[in-house]
Structures are given as structure tokens and as C-alpha cells.
Amino acid sequence: MSSKQHFNAVVIGSGQGGTPLAGAFAKAGKSVALIESTHIGGTCINEGCTPTKTMVASGRVAYLARRSQDYGVNLPSAPTIDMKKIRQRKRDIVDSFRGGSERRVQSSGIELITGTAKFVDPHTVTISPSSPAEPEKTISADQFFINVGARPTPLVLRGLESVDRTRVLDSTSILELDVVPSHLIVLGGGPIGLEFAQLFRRLGAAVTIIQRGAQLIPREDPDIAESMTEILEEDGITILLSTKATSISTSESSPIVLSVLSSDGNSHELQGSHLLAAAGRVPNTDILAPKQRTNVPHIYALGDVKGGPAFTHVSYDDFRILAANLIDPGPGRAGREGMKRTTKDRLDCYVTYTDPQLGHVGLHEAEARKIHGDENVAVAKMPMAYVARALECGESRGVMKAVVEKGGEGRGRILGFTCLGLEGGEVMAVVQMAMMGGVTWEGVQGAVFAHPSLSEGLNNLWGFLE
């Protein structure tokens, strides 16, 4: 490469939005560079969805093995955990996914540059190489696309410098544990904290969750959070709500001694073997954009870095929006004028991979009431214990909940849906399709679903509409 090379498009970060976007530009005949500081695939493949859900699957097998007698299956002995094998299985699947992404990049005509990019002017970046033996590169481009993702929120806690840092983990470093903690203390009651808390409880650890707020998973409706709390406590996890950590230390008897303060003013100490800081993730820059455009017209942001819901499927849809508007604008819609796709009507959907899963799409109850008014909102809620398929599988914990519009032009419209239950994410997707197609709750109620299926519960849910 010459000392300075020019491209039509430069994508910084190879996440689930950046990599296909670079490929789409290359396919359109544009010169494209993809800059990546570490591994192809971004957070999802390397430190997020792929490794965590792979390990969650191991935890589920351990959970079912311990429950085998409930199903009339008597195992010769209690299951034992091989943490190194769990870790290796996770590494193998990550390597496989990462390798697939690398092969697609290599075969697409994209110029892959390894290193860390830094803007020197609106059209130029310098790239510090990963290897000190390589020279710094400078490249320019007509357009830049920032897909640099997010990182775990750093832990700030008095006394942290005095503790063995190998025992203070974040959502990335915990994936490399080769032992099951004897007692894992989790700071944070959001999705990341809950997934790891339940996983390591199922692998045999004692687990305590410390949550500053009055409920777990704060973005959820209080009744859903309460149901989740009951499930995790049933699994043997200790949950301390309205509690904050004030300092950390070590002692002769315990490598982690955490001082906590509850909302009533009482303080006490918890002893643990490991601490997980699970207070979420922060974007690697502060660039925000409703149509993925920054305040510089030719520089766009996509994925976690732009703010908003930090999900892989959102990042991928960001790619589709940009590709539709910038690569194939269509007749009479050249450039950025007349944008064909935006984020405006994109349904917010996600799944928290606890077991049972928590799948959600659309508005939560409080949001719906604020937007549409109490008089125009009705709620239907039904225990998963009323779903035949869940009972047959011996996994009937949780609840389905739907929020609908009662009157006006939108009468019968489904505004939001939550399924905390067996394969809750898959049940949620059925309702999501109904919402996308404009099917009312009456339409879903009257649908003929296969029997017995989890989605069949959607026939009965509306009988609980209030």
C-alpha cells in the first residue's frame, strides 16, 4: 500500500453492521477499506452473543441433568462440570464464526487493514498498526462509516487497587474463566448480569446479585421484573435490591470482600471468590445519528456506537438502511436526498437469554400508557402454566403479557408484547410478525396455531384482557 491511499468508502470496525456494509460497497464496484483493531466480527461474534449463548447452552444442559428425575430419567450420578471443556467449546464456536466472517471479507474485494484508526481531518484517518514492527498508515475516503462498537462499563469502586484483578471480571474476561467460582458476586441486575448469574449458578457457583435499583431489569414492567426475580430466586440466586457497593477489599479468608449499603441505611459485607461488574456497556464514541449520519455529512455511525438499543439485529438493520439509501438509492433518489429507509418505524425487539427467555417487542405498558393514555390501553397477562406445551415440557415458569390499543383508529392494535417463558424469544417473534402486518389482537386470537405449540398460548392470552 502506498503511504496514502484513497477509497470511495472506509468502514471502521467489522461488527455485524460494518462488515456487510463494506461488502455491499465492494459489490457495487466501490473501492472499500475495512479497518479492524482486533478480530473480525465485532462484539457479537467475539465477546457477545456467540460466546455467551454457547456457554448458556452448557448451563441449560447441567440444569436439565439435575432435573432428570422430574422426567423419569434416573442418571447414575450427579452431573460434574468441566469448565475447561465448556470454555474450549465456546472458543471453537467463536473461531468457526470468526473464520466464516474472515473468509467472506477476503473473497469480497475489500481491503482489510488491521490497526486502530484516528481521524486527522474529515476525510483522512491514520491507522496505528497492531504490530509495532509495521508502519503507520494514512488513508482518505469520500465517506466513512463508524462501527467501532462498545466496551464494558469500567468498574469504579473504592479499594479496587488492593484486590487481585484476575478475580474482578467484566462481561468479556468472565468468558475465559477455567474454573467455576465458589461464590460469584454480580454487580448489576440488567440482562448481562442476569444471564451470567444464572449460567454460573447452574454450573455450581453460589451467586449473589447486587442491584442499585428497586427492581431487576429496570427497562421492563415491574410485574415482569418481579416474575423474573422469583424465577432466579427459585434457582438459588440471592438478590439484593436497592443496594449499592461502597468499597471492595480482600481478607485472609476471602479474596473478595464487598461492602454494600442498602436503601434503609444498613451496611454489611459479602465474601466471594469472584466479582462480575455487569453495569452494561458504553459506546466507544459519542456519535449519535437518527439516520446514522453524524454532524459531518459524509461520516455515518452504525451499531452500538450510535446510541440507542445495542443489539446485533439493530446493527444489521443499520447496515440495511445505509445500503438502501447510499448504495442503491433508486430512480430520483440520488445521494442523501429522499432517504428511502429510516429508523422511524423500526420495532424495538430483543431477547434476554435467561432460562426461561425474556422476549419483548414494541412498547412496555408504562410507555404505552404515556403515549396513548390510560383510557386507550388494555393489558392481557397469562401465566405460562396455562400453556399446554410448556406444561408438557415441564417448564411452565413465567408469563405472557400484551399491551393493546382500545379505541380510536388503532382499535385492537397490538402495541407491545412480552413473553417470559420457554422459548420466549420465538413466541415474541410470532407477535412481532403480527404487529408488522397490522394484525389486531382479535386476529391473533382467532389464528389456528398447531397443537401443541408454545405459540398456541396466544389463542388464550386475550381472554385475560383487562
- In a domain, residue 388? The reply is yes
Mean pLDDT for the stretch of residues 436-460:
97
Question: Do residues 262 and 358 both lie within one domain?
Answer: no
Question: Do residues 18 and 134 both lie within one domain?
Answer: yes
Question: Picking from 163-167, 190-194, 310-314, 419-423, which range would have the lowest pLDDT averaged per residue?
Answer: 310-314
Strand order in the sheet with 256-262: 243-249, 256-262, 267-272
Residue 115 burial (CB count, 10 A): 18
- In a domain, residue 337? The reply is no
- In a domain, residue 380? The reply is yes
Model confidence at 11, in pLDDT bands (50, 70, 90)? very high
Residue that wins the pLDDT comparison between 297 and 67: 67
Question: Do residues 194 and 124 both lie within one domain?
Answer: no
What is the pLDDT at residue 293?
A: 62
Model confidence at 310, in pLDDT bands (50, 70, 90)? confident
Residue 85: burial class (beta carbons within 10 Å; 0-12, 13-18, 19+): exposed
What is the pLDDT at residue 283?
A: 73
Residues 103-112 pLDDT 10s: 999 889 999 9
- Going by C-alpha positions, the residue among 284, 278, 282, 280 that lies closest to residue 301 is 284
What is the pLDDT at residue 410?
A: 81
What is the pLDDT at residue 356?
A: 98
Question: Do residues 105 and 127 both lie within one domain?
Answer: yes
Give the helix/strand (H/E) hosting 167.
none
What is the pLDDT at residue 287?
A: 41
What is the pLDDT at residue 150?
A: 85
What is the pLDDT at residue 190?
A: 96
Question: Do residues 143 and 29 both lie within one domain?
Answer: yes
First to last CA, the chain: 66
Residues 328-385 pLDDT 10s: 654 444 444 445 777 777 889 999 999 999 999 999 999 999 999 999 999 999 999 9
Mean pLDDT for the stretch of residues 236-259:
97
Average pLDDT along the chain? 92
Question: Do residues 367 and 421 both lie within one domain?
Answer: yes
Q: And the C-alpha cell for 447?
A: 389464528
Q: Are strands 349-352 and 299-301 parallel, antiparallel or unpaired?
A: unpaired
Question: Do residues 307 and 167 both lie within one domain?
Answer: no
**Domain residues for 393?**
349-464
**Which residue's entry shows cell 433518489?**
333
Answer whether 0.85 is exceeded by the pTM: yes
What is the pLDDT at residue 151?
A: 87
Question: Do residues 271 and 287 both lie within one domain?
Answer: no
Question: Picking from 35-39, 204-208, 430-434, which range would have the lowest pLDDT averaged per residue?
Answer: 35-39
Question: Picking from 51-55, 140-144, 301-305, 358-362, which range would have the lowest pLDDT averaged per residue?
Answer: 301-305
Mean pLDDT for the stretch of residues 121-140:
88
Residues 369-427 pLDDT 10s: 999 999 999 999 999 999 999 999 999 999 999 999 997 778 999 999 999 999 999 99
- In a domain, residue 50? The reply is yes
Q: What percent of the chain has pLDDT over 70?
A: 95
Q: Do 460 and 381 meet the contact criterion of CB atoms below 8 Å apart?
A: no
Give the helix/strand (H/E) hosting 126.
strand 124-129
The strand ranges marked E within 68-123 are 111-121
Residues 140-170 pLDDT 10s: 999 999 999 888 889 999 999 999 999 999 9
Question: Picking from 207-221, 287-301, 433-447, which range would have the lowest pLDDT averaged per residue?
Answer: 287-301
Model confidence at 130, in pLDDT bands (50, 70, 90)? confident
Question: Picking from 52-61, 113-122, 332-341, which range would have the lowest pLDDT averaged per residue?
Answer: 332-341
- In a domain, residue 64? The reply is no
Dihedrals φ, ψ of 399, to 5°?
Answer: -155, 150
Question: Do residues 386 and 414 both lie within one domain?
Answer: yes
Q: Is the dihedral of CA 296, 110, 42, 21 positive or negative?
A: positive
Mean pLDDT for the stretch of residues 38-47:
90
What is the pLDDT at residue 2?
A: 46
Cis amide linkage into residue 290, ω under 30° from 0:
no
Mean pLDDT for the stretch of residues 444-459:
97
- CATH, residue 390: 3.30.390.30
Given 3-state DSSP classes, what are the helix, strand and coil percentages for the chain, each rounded to the nearest 5?
35, 25, 40
- CATH, residue 98: 3.50.50.60
Is 286's pLDDT higher than 70? no
Is 16's pLDDT higher than 60? yes
Model confidence at 38, in pLDDT bands (50, 70, 90)? confident
- In a domain, residue 68? The reply is no
What is the pLDDT at residue 455?
A: 97
Question: Do residues 93 and 196 both lie within one domain?
Answer: no
Q: What percent of the chain has pLDDT over 90?
A: 77
Mean pLDDT for the stretch of residues 40-57:
94
Question: Do residues 188 and 203 both lie within one domain?
Answer: yes
- In a domain, residue 228? The reply is yes
Model confidence at 4, in pLDDT bands (50, 70, 90)? confident
Close Cβ partners of 400 (under 8 Å, ≥ 6 residues apart)? 380, 381, 382, 384, 387, 417, 418, 419, 420, 421, 427, 457, 458, 461
- In a domain, residue 179? The reply is yes
What is the pLDDT at residue 200?
A: 98
Q: Do 48 and 350 meet the contact criterion of CB atoms below 8 Å apart?
A: no
Question: Do residues 107 and 186 both lie within one domain?
Answer: no
Mean pLDDT for the stretch of residues 111-128:
92
Indicate the number of domains in the chain. Answer: 3
